[in-house]
Amino acid sequence: LRFLYQRITNPLAHIPGPEISKWTDLVYKYYWFSGKIPYYVHSLHEKYGKDINITNKSEYSADVPQGPIVRTSTTQVDICDKEVAREIHKTNSRYMKSNFYNVLVAKNFQNLFSTTDPKFHFNRRRLLATPISDSSLSKHEPLISSRINLAIEKIAQEMDNRGVADVFKWWLFMATDVIGELTFGESFQMLESGEKNQYTKDLESLSSLQPIRTTFPNMVDLARRLPLPVFNRAGAVANRMSQYALQSLQRYTKHLENEPGTAKQTLFTKIFDEKNGLSLREILYEAQGYIVAGSDTTAVTLTYLVYSVCSDARVREELAAELASLPEPISDKDLRNLPYLNQVISETLRLYTAVPFGLPRSVPVGGVTLKGMYIAGETTVSTQSYSLHRDPGIFADPDKFYPERWEDPSRDMKDASIPFGGGSRICIGIHLARIELRLATALFFRRFPQAKVSSSEGMSSDDMVMKAFFLMAPQGHRCLVEA
């Protein structure tokens, strides 16, 4: 009866999509759990949308309106349209982050990333934005450069000893050490040890635990009291990470109080202040957000960049030639306007965006009409970059890694690109990420201009298939290259 009621009353029934999604969310959840949600949603656009490659038009009935909006589950639609994406992700947008974010991070845990409250977000962002702005980050460039140089040394050593190097591992260690030091004032020292510690193992498992958190939030709570193995694990990971972060921040504040002159400047140093800034607990929540949002994202992007460039000798040679002309030591100032380097980065962010998932937002109460289609209030709308970035009407031959397409990008290309989200919820770490991407790419290809993808140890393109929960990662969890 419940299914029948859901089907009859479904306010999204008029939107094109698979019949099953009028009845139940099970199919959607299956793909979410298996890390294939962007592929599934993209296949719905291919089947039901007119702006995306339509493979078999004869399947459609003439009375179903085709368009860029598809129903993905009983309560959700995805929209592959650059104008709608801009409207939803603009500054002062009426589309708030959906309830999904409350459970993605943790229940009753509000920070800049997870909050759905615009006032909270505005105040928090105002405090956090300056220390992580492009101009403020220049004082951290020596730290970022030294971590990247160490990663490259380790890659070279691994190539010597093992014959190949796993760039995914080293980029992950580098990005986690950088954001750890900028957040806690002390490094995780993963590059030095070459091994993951408990915190970073937990960090790694966080992504695959996201489907559990978002689908069964109450079970994770219940698991605090009952022995429910998988749910206990999700809770234990969150507790350990929180304890570690708290202890690091307590050490840092003690240092700051005792020896303010010698304490390293972090992204939070100036806002440790109960009255005008943030309390220790509030900083703890933000620090945890930075670590999660700022490690895998950068590492995955760099991994796919190296993989794509190393797979195409033409691109690699052009990039290496451009980098060969740079003076030593390489600084970020020299890289900001390098044409080909920046085209390679833009193309990686297009094809392998670390967040290919649809950034779910809630339709304002009263509903809206988008592209001629009425969408009821409180429906969850997403605009997944995986599809927007592959719109063949905007990006010719969309599956090809072709950096030159960014030589003189059209307005449409810029509008359809949202690797860092948009509007007031745009990634706060965008400048840090871009500095890391520029420096790491330049230093890597300066050192290894002949690098290519290895086929040793069974490495194949299967390892690089994207597995996506909220964040994406190569399913083999490795990327082996040789010089």
Give the residue with the Cβ less far from ligand HEM, 385 or 454: 385
Name which position in 419, 451, 466, 468 contacts ligand HEM (CB under 6 A). 419
Q: Which residues make Cβ contacts (< 8 Å) with residue 120, sequence separation at least 6?
A: 110
CA 134 to centroid of chain Cα atoms: 19
3-state helix, strand, coil in the chain (%, to 5): 55, 10, 35
Give the residue with the Cβ less far from ligand HEM, 113 or 401: 113
Name which position in 37, 155, 354, 440 contacts ligand HEM (CB under 6 A). 354
Count of residues that bind ligand HEM according to CB under 6 A: 24
- What is the amino acid identity at position 233? R
| 31 belongs to the binding site for ligand HEM (CB under 6 A) | no
Stretch binding ligand HEM (CB under 6 A), from 189-197, 209-217, 366-374, 425-433:
425-433
Give the residue with the Cβ less far from ligand HEM, 169 or 350: 350
First to last CA, the chain: 63
| 386 belongs to the binding site for ligand HEM (CB under 6 A) | no
**305 touches 407 (CB < 8 A):** no
Q: How far is the CB of 232 from ligand HEM (least distance, A)?
A: 28
| 289 belongs to the binding site for ligand HEM (CB under 6 A) | yes
- Two structure tokens written together for 468: 């996506």
Give the residue with the Cβ less far from ligand HEM, 231 or 290: 290
Q: How far is the CB of 400 from ligand HEM (least distance, A)?
A: 21
Select from 148, 172, 435 the least CA-distant residue to 292.
172
> Which H or E run contains 3?
helix 2-9
Residue with tokens 């399913």: 475
| 420 belongs to the binding site for ligand HEM (CB under 6 A) | yes
Q: How far apart are CA 433 and CA 470, in angstroms?
A: 18
Give the residue with the Cβ less far from ligand HEM, 256 or 430: 430
Give the residue with the Cβ less far from ligand HEM, 223 or 349: 349
Name which position in 127, 370, 416, 432 contacts ligand HEM (CB under 6 A). 432
Q: How far is the CB of 117 from ligand HEM (least distance, A)?
A: 11
Q: How far is the CB of 106 from ligand HEM (least distance, A)?
A: 15
Interface residues for ligand HEM in 172-191 (CB under 6 A)? 179
| 125 belongs to the binding site for ligand HEM (CB under 6 A) | yes
Q: How far is the CB of 133 from ligand HEM (least distance, A)?
A: 12
DSSP assignment of 388-408: HTT-TTTSSSTTS--GGGGSS
Q: Which residue is nearest to ligand HEM (CB)?
A: 429
Q: Is 324 helix (H, G, I), strand (E, B) or coil?
A: helix
Q: How far is the CB of 54 from ligand HEM (least distance, A)?
A: 28
Give the residue with the Cβ less far from ligand HEM, 36 or 140: 140
CB environment 315-326: b (16+ within 10 A), e (fewer): bbebbbebbeee
Q: How many CB atoms lie within 10 A of CB 190?
A: 25
Name which position in 359, 388, 443, 468 contacts ligand HEM (CB under 6 A). 359
| 429 belongs to the binding site for ligand HEM (CB under 6 A) | yes
Q: How far is CA 475 from CA 451, 453, 467, 482, in A?
A: 22, 16, 5, 20
| 293 belongs to the binding site for ligand HEM (CB under 6 A) | yes
| 290 belongs to the binding site for ligand HEM (CB under 6 A) | yes
| 468 belongs to the binding site for ligand HEM (CB under 6 A) | no
Q: How many CB atoms lie within 10 A of CB 199?
A: 19
Give the residue with the Cβ less far from ligand HEM, 113 or 448: 113
**481 touches 310 (CB < 8 A):** yes
- Tell me: is residue 479 an annotated ligand-binding position: no
Q: Give me the phi and psi of 176, to 5 degrees please.
A: -70, -40
Q: How far apart are CA 252 and CA 265, in angstroms?
A: 10
Name which position in 164, 305, 433, 473 contacts ligand HEM (CB under 6 A). 433
Q: How far is the CB of 245 from ligand HEM (least distance, A)?
A: 14
CB burial of residue 478 (10 Å; 0-12, 13-18, 19+): middle
Helix residue ranges per DSSP H, 139-228:
141-162, 167-184, 190-193, 198-215, 217-222
Q: For residue 373, list its beta bridge partners.
A: 370
| 428 belongs to the binding site for ligand HEM (CB under 6 A) | yes
Please give the annotated binding residues for heme, written as ranges.
Answer: 427
Please give the annotated binding residues, written as ranges.
Answer: 427
Residues near ligand HEM, by CB under 6 A = 112-113, 125, 179, 289-290, 293-294, 297-298, 301, 353-355, 359, 419-421, 425, 427-429, 432-433
